[in-house]
Every structure is written in structure tokens, then in C-alpha cells.
Amino acid sequence: MVTIPPDVKRMMNAQHVILVGTSNKQGIPNVSPRSSFYVDNDTIYWYEIFRHKSFENFMKNNWVSVAAVDNVEFSGYQLKGHVKIVEDKGDYFFADTRISKNLPKNHEEYIRKLISEHDVKIIQFQPLVLYSLNPVEFKKAPGLLESDIDMDKLPELEEFSMLDY
């Protein structure tokens, strides 16, 4: 499991948005923002309020990319890993409590209204790879900060997991 560094957590919380990238079984990509999330030391949780493309993709391919970008500092991070729906009631309560405390103030009321109107799922994202999106850092092995997996096998693993789901 990859530990999410404090700088990455600060950036995600300061920007109040993460970008979630998924792909369907055919490999067609989808990117969708999330503003209702909580970043723990090695996990990111978010509300899945609507069940559109991202949610459908989760069901077929649990490999997901999460990115955070600071457009003022021209920096960012991308994490790749697996998602699952939080089913355990204790885990759900833990995540729900923290996400609800972390809602962006400028549209907290709107999000709470949506939550009351929908059967909200909570998604748990476990990062396996952490990259820097800072172009200067791409001199390193490509901006890689930390990984739990053999990077030489990542493309093979991604392809394999897509066929598996």
C-alpha cells in the first residue's frame, strides 16, 4: 500500500477537487471531478452520488487514476490503484463522517441536498502508485514517487485487470 504524503494530502484538500479517471471494459476513458472526498494516510474515500459512467466503469474495471492539480503552482500528483464500494457499516460510518466534515463550504448545502435525495455509495480508493505531475520531476523515473508494484509490470497488470473485469 502506498502512503499518501502530507504534501499530496494538503494539495488535494486545498484544491477541494480530485479528478477520477476510469475506463470501461473496452478501454474507453472517462474523467470526472469529485469535491466530496476525504484523504487518509493510504486511502481516499469519496461520495458516489450519481451512478453514471464512472460508477459503471468501477463495476467492470477497478483500476482507477486519481489526480490533483494546483494550477497556480503548476504542480500536481497522480495516483493509480484500485477502488471498491464500502460495504461494511463501520467503515461506511468512518468514511461518511470524515467526508461530510470535509465538504467544500461553497456548495456544502447543495451536496447535502443531493445526499438526502440519492442512495449514496462511498468509494474507497487504495493507491498502488504515486506520480508527480511536475514536468521538472519527469527527469526521474517518470515522476514516480512511490510504488507498491513492480513498475516494469504495470502495463501488463493494467491490461490484465481490464480483461479480468
Q: Which residue has the higher pLDDT, 41 or 131?
A: 41
Tens digit of pLDDT for each residue in 119-141? 999 999 999 888 888 766 555 54
Q: Kindly tell me if the per-residue pLDDT of 155 is higher than 70.
A: no
Mean pLDDT, the chain, integer: 84
Note the pLDDT of residue 108.
93
Domains and CATH numbers, the chain: 6-164 (2.30.110.10)
Q: What is the pLDDT of residue 25?
A: 85
**Cell 438526502 maps to which residue?**
116
Over residues 63-107, the pLDDT tens digits come to 999 999 988 888 899 999 999 999 999 999 999 999 999 999 998
Residue scoring higher pLDDT (94 or 163): 94
